Structure 1
Amino acid sequence: MSLIITYIGSKGCVIVGDKRRIGFYGPEQARERLEEELYSGKINTSEKLFKKADEHGITIKISDDAKKIRERDDVVIGEVRSKTTLETKRKRIYATTGTYSMIELLGSDVQTMKSGESAIIVFGNKYTQKLAEKSVNKFWKSKINLLEVGKIFETVMEQVALETPSVSPEHDMIIKYPKIGLKSAKELVRKTIIQDVKELSMWRDKLRENMVTTSKNIQMASKIIITGDIGTVDYVKDNEIGIILNKGIEALNKDWEVMVKPSEIIRMTIEDISNVSKGDLAVIENENLCIKRTKELLNCEFILCKSE
């Protein structure tokens, strides 16, 4: 669901990218059949896409807010991606005056790299590539400046969007005019790729860490006690009381570390000690931690959970 066109010339570079994102929801085989029809050009309007999706039992969601191109100092970057059940594949182009490099990544690992100098590079499926290349050839001139290139690319994007719902009418464009020699340009692109991929790897590591944390939080949250008996008051001293936790109940801190084990004493505080006596039962009722006999509320700094 992407179309990115990049011009690399001796005076600078131009990149334009559409903004469409399409989500397909349903059985895998049906999704694949629908995508094949879309990418072959058999479906040429959004109305037909929704109709075909309904026929295949697929739900689709279309949005036009994707950012597929960006800039980093004097380098423009375009990216298309596809997701599998296990990994994300990315294809990127990095370009500046007189040079470019294309890389393919699996996750954050570079699989292939191809470099060149002056060129027009089109990213997209076979059908959108064919439409874009035909349209570029139609409007191209022998002598042309970067602003004219930008206008041609905008026209191409608009025309391709009329032929397929996989490309949005809206698009982003970046034009760069860096005055830089070929050797320096190649080194700049190389360093940009290294830094960009490094940041992608760090982002993926952080995302993976957050996913693990979220998964653990969900798992542990299911163990939190929301109702039932907690334990028995062992002592009362000033506004502090000690409660012996019942078997099968433990106290954890906010990092889900066990601080008080079953049958051990956990310390809590209370406002009115006259409403609690040794031997009273501590419970959670109506989401409140309290003394069962008097309903006096207890204050606890830990999370009370079911133990393994």
Structure 2
Amino acid sequence: MPSQPSRTRYWIGAFLVFLAAFCFATKGILIKLAYQYPIDPISLLTLRMLFALPFYVLISISLARKYPPVQLSLKQWATLTMLGITGYYLASFFNFLGLVYITASLERILLFVYPTFVLLMNAVGFGRRVTRLQLIALLLTYAGILLAFWGNVESSVQKNVILGAVWIILSGLVYAIYLVGSDPMIARIGSQRFTCYAMIAATVPTVVHCAVHNGLHLGSYPTPIYALGLSMGIFVTVIPTFMIAEGIKRVGSGNASIIASVGPIFTIVLSSTILHETISSKQILGTLLVLSGVFLIGWRGRQQSNRVPKNVG
């Protein structure tokens, strides 16, 4: 039987992962609220990144003072930079684009396709055997996504369900590439340093993209836009990033992925109450199937490793 301190440590970790999942689940809600004002996806993403940037810079400086210097070759620094750009610029931009066209609740369901991409990439690229349990998980996940998607094709509140779904699934695919590629780097420098450096690297192309798109004119939006951008930068990016890192230290990556799979439920509840989105019975059933698939993949992960997964931002 685990000791009382160990049990307390576990439940604190589980609570941190739970809170992080809630924070991540609010991202789509905040983006959809921002889209009620005249702002384009890259400008909104730039505001989010710029508001978050000072925190990551300060945290990276603090880590540099606390721990020995990072010893990386030029090639390794280039790899880290490209991973950051892939995971936090490209994946985020595709996600922001998708939310122009579809509801926040559908976006969160579709985005949960990324664990299956990770599973398939590891199988194809690294020869890791896909078990029967994982195949069942894949079938459940894709059946749920198809059902949820089919239940929203005729929705009048969405501009273009197919185009939006393509962008969100592409976001999940790109994010899966980032996850698979970042494991060796995280093992080398630690999850917190890696997250800070990756976010700083991703901010550069985001700002350049915004400058090319609209001249980096970010000072003339309505006040609520800046409040939403600040909320995304702090409460959807910085805080949950480190909450989930600390939580996984306490409960392990497998348990954390299971706890975090409650995210789509949060998004559905929030989107129906705040955005007044209509949730169909097909979407609810599809969500349950997706969560079942993610649960099985996460449960299987408990038996394999204790790697620190990264947030879906």
- Bin of the TM-score, shorter chain as denominator length: under 0.3
State the TM-score, normalized to the length of structure 2: 0.26
Q: Larger Rg: 1 or 2?
A: 1
Return the structure number with greater helix share.
2
Higher relative contact order (CA 8 A, sep 6+): 2
State the TM-score, normalized to the length of structure 1: 0.26
Return the structure number with greater strand share.
1
